Chains A and B, each alone.
Chain A
Amino acid sequence: MTSGIQRLLRETARVTKLSALMSTWQGRFIAVFVIAQLLLPLHYYLARKDPHDERFAWRMFSPMRMARCVPSVAIDDRPVNLGSEFHEAWLEIAARGRFSVLEAMGAALCAKHPKAEVRLSIQCTYLDREPQSYGGYDMCTVPYL
């Protein structure tokens, strides 16, 4: 056990020869790659406004993956069937509550119906938190959820 820990520490010490590492392009590439991969997932926990968007964070099969959202859109107060506007694969992503896709859908509908009011909202249920609603306002005026 002790020898295992010593071996681990030795390996870790060997990795941290940063000045030697940064002296070649391969070393600089390795450093940038490792640091980026270590830090990029932090973006999800610290900065991302959309909790449903788990891309680049290695959150495979996380509880958030079980979130289910129901998007609804109304153009000038008339409900829109999203299935006739967007491919069902996009609707599946929207049903997971991904803001960037829903916002793009809102933008596409605003472009298709200029001067109209496009209200988009999603109601989400979660495994580990209370249900929540997002949006509900005119996406042509405020294009972000």
Chain B
Amino acid sequence: MANKRKRSKPQGPRPGAAAPAAPAESRQARRAEARKTEREDAPVKPAPRFELVREPVFWFGFEVSWAKLALARFVIFTLLAIDALLQLSHAPRYGAGGFNVAQLPGLDALGAGRIGFELGQLACAYLFIYAALGVATRVVVPASAAIYAWLYFGSQLDSYQHHYLVALVLLLACFIPWQRREEAEPETPIRTWAVRLILVQLGIMYLWAAISKMSPAWLDGRTITGQITGPLRAVIEDTVGFKAAARFTVLAELVLAVVVWIRPAWFIALPLGVAFHVGILASGLEIGLFAYLMLAFYVFVIPDRAVVWAANLAPLRAVRAGLRAVRIENTIPSAIALAVCLGLGLLLARFTRFHAGFDLAIVLTAFPILAVTVARLRGRLSVIPWLGLAHVLALALWLVIDRTSSLAVDYYRFWGGNARRLGEPAVAELAYRRLTEIAPDLPNGHYQLGRLLLDGEDEEAGLEELREAQRLEPLRARAWLAEAQWLVKKGRKAEAIEKAQEAVYSEPTNQTARDLLDSLTGTKSTPPQGAAPASDDDTDQP
């Protein structure tokens, strides 16, 4: 609109403007003339836009500043990306034993299996990073919402309420204009009914959560006594007591149900909601990143002027200006930049230890290429560096989370353990072999693989694995015990006694080891075959 106005602006002197005056004589007069000329030459400021707001204004007139929307986008989607990756250790439970119960009747067969769940969560994490950076949000938000919904509704395995909330919020997030408009500045108001709907959804959630607690078992503090374990437990015990804490919880939820979606009441919602969820964080409840995610939603109720003020601080202004300057519109440098990013992304993915991580990364490499192609066809060239950067950062997050957590180790440990318990030794062997490859210094993989191989045909390899486990966990009896029991089965009693003694030396408190040694040396009458089997423990801790 402003451009149109500029184009239609007459090029000659303005109608009614004064004719050019004769050159001024004095210095003061010349300065005044220069100022006047400057004013006249200055571009015409666009008139404030008065758009008609559709009724009901409550929904369609709801606005948040661009700075707040961008902050919420970054915080929420980054947390969701991390959460998606942290779910990966749950993958082996999906499809295990061919059993599944979906959230909705009739969808059991559509639920994800182990590989499907892993690929889905990795893809979600990848797409969430794009969304966090505001890249291709019209594609990545609906795509990630669809994948998340498939994973959630396809199985009751991870059916906590917060998964349901995330599925709903992602659906609503598809209707939020996350991508920055060309002219948007931190204070630019962005009209979005979907953000209002997310806040109303939070209000509804708090309301029903409060209603569910209106029972004697909650109000007298019995329920909360059995649930809270963290540092908050001692604080409550030493101060208000569990009964008062339980009643305050209901009151807080009722208040939040009303104030979280009404802008004039945000001054209550913000401190109360943040304190409430920080309290939940300190309560030791096993809810993963849910409390953090709830805190992230409270970005929406921070006063706009505070976020705009922060966004206009000099360092952030400089960062913004720098980021906007990154535009490579020439074809060859664009192609080189993208190729470097794609190559770097694949390199990062190569070092991740997730089962299907690298294969998926290869497939995902097509996404920025496709997006760039579409962007070029639509004449948008400045997106190329952002697509490349988002690709690299998304895969870098995979690597960082993998290498700073036990996710990959847990994945193979759980996979092997499930398969072993459900009577699939070949699958268990595959999982434990991979576990020993990615974590050769952890004894559990060697121990379990050794037991499996001794039960199979490759006894020599099994013994080697057990001995590696014995070397890696010198203070644990289980690997010595497993070898001793195998020797008993083979009728090699003298060697079995020797290994049983090693088992007792390494872990004198292990009753199974002592029983076996006693039975082998004749101290006890129990036959050696009757001794308890070696530990089935899947952990690496003594």
Contacts and interface: CB of A to CB of B under 8 A. Distances in A.
A62 B213 contact: yes
A57 B193 contact: no
Contacts of A85: 97, 422
A140 B93 CA distance: 26
Given A8-B258, A93-B156, A127-B223, A21 B217 contact: no
B407 to A, nearest CB: 17
B222 interface: yes
B423 interface: yes
B159 interface: yes
Contact count band on A? 35 or more
Interface in B266-300: 285
A27 B421 CA distance: 52
Interface string A66-105: 1000000000000000011111111001000010110011
Contacts of A88: 93, 418, 421
B423 A84 contact: yes
Interface string B208-239: 11011101111000111011000000000000
A15 B157 CA distance: 37
Contacts of B226: 66, 127
Interface string A1-31: 0001001100100111100110010110010
Contact of B156 (A8, A41, A61, A101): A101
Interface string B197-213: 10011001100110111
A98 B156 contact: yes
A104 to B, nearest CB: 4
Given A30-B197, A57-B208, A84-B421, A62 B101 contact: no
A4 B259 CA distance: 11
A124 to B, nearest CB: 15
Contacts of B193: 26, 30
Contacts of A20: 54-56
Contacts of B55: 17, 20-21
A97 to B, nearest CB: 13
Contacts of B216: 128
Nearest to B218: A63
Contacts of A101: 101, 156
Nearest to A19: B55
Contacts of B222: 63, 127-128
A100 B222 CA distance: 28
Nearest to A7: B264
A47 interface: no
Contacts of B217: 63, 66, 127-128
Contacts of A24: 54
A105 B204 CA distance: 34
A34 to B, nearest CB: 6
Contact of B197 (A34, A84, A100): A34
Contact of B262 (A11, A17, A38): A11
A100 B209 CA distance: 23
Nearest to B59: A30
A56 B160 CA distance: 9
A37 B56 contact: no
B529 interface: no
A66 to B, nearest CB: 6
B164 A56 contact: yes
B60 interface: yes
A119 to B, nearest CB: 19
Contact of A89 (B57, B93, B103, B285): B93
Interface in B239-270: 258, 262, 264-265
Given A17-B56, A61-B224, A104-B108, 6 more contacts: A20-B54, A38-B204, A58-B205, A66-B223, A83-B421, A104-B99
8 contacts: A7-B262, A20-B56, A26-B175, A55-B103, A61-B223, A63-B223, A101-B101, A104-B108
Interface of A: 4, 7-8, 11, 14-17, 20-21, 24, 26-27, 30, 33-34, 37-38, 41, 54-63, 65-66, 83-90, 93, 98, 100-101, 104-105, 108, 127-128
5 closest Cβ pairs, A-B complex: A128-B217, A58-B208, A20-B55, A63-B217, A59-B212
